[in-house]
Structure 1
């Protein structure tokens, strides 16, 4: 008998949650190189919820050998958000497309802290949160990545 391999898994939409820093690292790896228009981020102050509609690269795709690289639209949402700040993001230019590089947590007191969404081009979004409560959910079927290639990073 042989152990199961990741490649043998079924390809299904992601629906993940994060409640601690380790969970958030997994979500970060799955949303690396996601792109989104500046108009697709929203903060509901009353509900204390921040969300992004992303076009994320399917890093987990086990069928890469069978088809072109894929993207999928996904919602990345954070609850218990007390404040949102951006740096290097021009919200007035509604045509700007942002690229997400990583999602990290800077711990504060009693589980509170800041979630930092680092963007390409020196931009960032900082979410002050009471605790880590994040979800990542695919909301469309995968589609061929417009570039037809895997994102690359300079060393």
Structure 2
């Protein structure tokens, strides 16, 4: 009997973030995740923002494999959401996530979570406190290439 394929036996990633340092680790795993605009949802009654994404598995890349995995990310205690440069009228539009950051507010633990995408798009979450969870939802699948960036294009993404 042959050993199971690495895509089958690979553990599901499950991470939580309660501070900026936690969020930076979560962000590293989500770098270059692809998502469709229709996979974004703000649930104001639950104070939750959710997104589904196809994340590039950077740990597998270190081992010589190019793979993606379907994942879900959600933020709790969200008071308000602002979309900057996200074409919400195009639900099949694709966004590439570059980074997720937290900026403390005037009255801790409140603050702002910023999801920054290639091409200058961003989503700003006004939160009572930082609480986020990332979870893989299923098996990995092989992809043909590793994500790359035109640094000139993305230079204005954080402003």
TM-score range, shorter chain: 0.7 to 0.9
TM-score of the two chains, using structure 2 as the length reference: 0.85
After the TM superposition, which residues 1-155 of structure 1 pair with which residues of structure 2 at under 5 Å, given as runs? 11-61=10-60, 64-65=63-64, 68-108=65-105, 109-145=107-143, 148-155=144-151
Divergent runs of 4+, >4 A: none
Distance 1:83 1:104 in 2: 16
TM-score, with normalisation over the residues of structure 1?
0.87
Shift of 1:149: 1.5
Q: Secondary structure at the match of 1:140?
A: strand
Q: Deviations over 1:106-146 (max 9, x none)?
A: 1112210000000111100000001110000000100112x
TM-superposed CA distance for 1:153, in Å, is: 2.3
Shift of 1:64: 3.1
Query: Residue deviations 1:73-108, cap 9 Å, x none?
Result: 000100000000000011011221111000000111
Give 5+ residue unaligned stretches, structure 2.
Answer: 1-8, 152-159
Partner of 2:157: none
Equivalent residues, number: 142
RMSD: 1.4
Higher share of residues assigned helix? 2
Q: Which runs of 5+ in 1 are unaligned?
A: 1-9
